[in-house]
């Protein structure tokens, strides 16, 4: 159904990276979720009330919550599509992640409400009126939820949508919840044992777990997560493909929504290159990366003296000292300069997160090693945290 609707209402519906196409998919799938979940809510609520079953009523209100979540998701996609403005120069793309977070909070709150009501039913169990209609409605509900799961998983992957991935996870947990309600009805019908409250509590736990997993998927990009390794490898490959580039460092990728990245990096070039040549190469690399990754790109050029023997000696010495601390360390931007009769050495030491020794201790060990080589050197050492 979603495929047919997409062909009908979404122009260029297979161009999943296009922002307008993503927005239309988000709104289409959100509206579909609202309709299907509200129909499930109405059917389950009717069955739950007639049967006096807390597990079915709980499952019904879970579907009502899902309808609300679909509404939030659709609105989130619409807000994310608003162009950048003076107050939001990087656009509104993170609204999509915020929508996913609101969906996950709604799931978690629903779990707590279901859990509370289920505990009451465990303490004071009530008669359950099970009918064939009860089984029929719950069975249809499972089929519908499996369908919601399948299209949210499919299009969530195709357009890389946090709200859709969260909805897919929740829909699968809903299937487990409804199966549990069917199990409660079956046990009551066959053995006259009322486990309705216990099943309701189990449903609450399943929903809570789904909500927490959904929250993780949404909160991580909001906090600022590390970019995908494949993306980083691709950027490195594309920059180093230019034969003039000796190396790259300080590569950062800031995410402001799906397909809304800001890329910045330092590219090392031979110091013998003219400023004009270096600037032209920077422009070429920026344009290539911008077109390929649909990102805002800034390339900073660092000159490297390839024929300075003393710089090579100092670089080797500093790298050896750093490797004694941790094998994942590195150095870059090392320069040896003379000014006013004094010699200055500056460089950046790149160290991984989580080292047990402080930056000041690292800096002192490097300085002490340099002093052994030449105590007259005036050093400036910056400590960078290695991200990629």
Q: Tell which of 160, 190, 223 closes a domain.
A: 223
Q: How far is CA 39 from the centre of its chain?
A: 31
Q: Are residues 218 and 236 in the same domain?
A: no
Kindly report, residue by residue over 83-126, the tens digit of the pLDDT: 778 888 777 877 777 877 887 887 788 788 878 878 887 888 77
6, pLDDT greater than 80: no
My answer on whether 209 and 108 are in the same domain is: yes
Selection from 161, 220, 158 nearest residue 26 by Cα = 161
**How many whole angstroms separate alpha carbon 23 and alpha carbon 37?**
21
| 257: pLDDT strictly greater than 80 | no
pLDDT in tens, 157-191: 888 887 788 788 878 878 877 887 788 888 888 88
Q: Would the pTM of this model clear 0.85, i.e. be above it?
A: no
Please indicate, yes or no, whether residues 175 and 76 belong to a single structural domain of this protein: yes
Whether 259 shows a pLDDT value over 70: the answer reads no
The domain that holds 284 is classified in CATH as 3.30.70.1350
Q: Which long-range contacts (CB under 8 A, 24 or more apart) does 223-230 make?
A: 224/254, 224/255, 225/255, 226/387, 226/388, 227/253, 227/255, 227/261, 227/388
Mean pLDDT of 1-5: 77
Same domain, 94 and 219: yes
Q: Same domain for 320 and 369?
A: yes
Instruction: Report how far residue 259's alpha carbon sits from residue 26's, in angstroms, rounded to the nearest whole number.
Output: 15
* pLDDT given for residue 304 in this prediction: 85
More confident position, 259 or 289: 289
Q: Are residues 261 and 351 in the same domain?
A: no
Is the same domain home to 111 and 155?
A: yes
Residue-range definition of the domain harbouring residue 381 = 309-386
Look at residues 180, 203, 223 and tell me which one is the last residue of a structural domain: 223
Q: Are residues 219 and 248 in the same domain?
A: no
- What's the structural domain count of the chain? 3
Task: Please tell me whether residues 180 and 293 are part of one structural domain.
Answer: no
CATH number of the domain encompassing residue 215:
1.20.1510.10
User: What is the rounded average pLDDT of the residues 128-143?
Assistant: 84
* Arithmetic mean of pLDDT, 299-304: 90
- Across the range 209-228, mean pLDDT stands at 79
> Quick check: 297 and 264 in contact, CB under 8 A?
yes
Same domain flag for 59 and 41: yes
At 49-82, the pLDDT tens digits run 888 777 778 778 778 877 877 777 777 778 777 8
- pLDDT value of position 258: 65
Q: Check residues 127 and 219 and name the one with the higher pLDDT.
A: 219
Choosing from 172, 197, 223, the residue where a domain stops is 223
Task: Say whether both 376 and 252 belong to one domain.
Answer: no
The three-state secondary structure class of 267 is: strand
Average pLDDT, the chain: 85
Residue 217 reports pLDDT greater than 80: no
- Shared domain for 96 and 233, answered yes or no, is no
At residue 143, the pLDDT reads: 92
pLDDT reading at 298 higher than 70: yes
């Amino acid at each position: 159904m979603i495929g047919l609707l997409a062909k009908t209402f979404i122009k260029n519906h297979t161009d999943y990276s296009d922002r307008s196409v993503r927005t239309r998919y988000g709104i289409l799938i959100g509206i579909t979720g609202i309709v299907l979940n509200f129909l499930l809510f109405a059917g389950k609520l009717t069955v739950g009330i007639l049967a006096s079953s807390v597990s079915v009523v709980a499952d019904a209100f879970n579907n009502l919550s899902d309808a609300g979540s679909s509404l939030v998701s659709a609105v989130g996609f619409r807000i994310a599509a608003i162009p950048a403005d003076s107050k939001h120069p990087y656009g509104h793309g993170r609204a999509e992640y915020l929508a996913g977070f609101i969906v996950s909070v709604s799931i978690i709150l629903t779990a707590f409400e279901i859990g509370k009501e289920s505990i009451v039913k465990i303490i004071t169990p009530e008669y359950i009126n099970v009918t064939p209609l009860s089984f029929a409605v719950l069975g249809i509900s499972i089929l519908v939820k499996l369908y919601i799961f399948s299209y949210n998983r499919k299009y969530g992957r195709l357009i890389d949508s946090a709200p859709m991935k969260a909805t897919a996870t929740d829909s699968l947990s809903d299937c487990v919840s409804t199966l549990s309600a069917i199990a409660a009805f079956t046990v009551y019908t066959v053995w006259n044992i009322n486990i309705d409250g216990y099943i309701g509590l189990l449903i609450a736990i399943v929903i809570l777990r789904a909500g927490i997993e959904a929250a993780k998927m949404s909160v991580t990009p909001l906090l600022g997560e590390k970019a995908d390794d494949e993306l980083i490898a691709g950027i490195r490959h594309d920059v180093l493909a230019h034969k003039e580039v000796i190396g790259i460092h300080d590569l950062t990728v800031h995410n402001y929504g799906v397909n809304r990245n800001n890329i910045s990096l330092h590219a090392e070039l031979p110091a013998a290159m003219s400023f004009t040549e270096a600037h032209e190469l920077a422009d070429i690399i920026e344009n290539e990366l911008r077109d390929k990754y649909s990102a805002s790109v800034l390339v900073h050029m660092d000159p490297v003296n390839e024929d300075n023997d003393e710089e090579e000696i100092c670089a080797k010495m500093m790298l050896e000292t750093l490797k004694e601390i941790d094998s994942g360390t590195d150095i870059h931007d090392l320069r040896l300069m003379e000014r006013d009769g004094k010699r200055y050495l500056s460089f950046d030491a790149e160290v991984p997160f989580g080292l047990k020794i402080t930056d000041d201790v690292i800096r002192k060990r490097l300085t002490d090693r340099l002093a052994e080589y030449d105590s007259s050197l005036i050093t400036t050492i910056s400590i960078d945290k290695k991200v990629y």
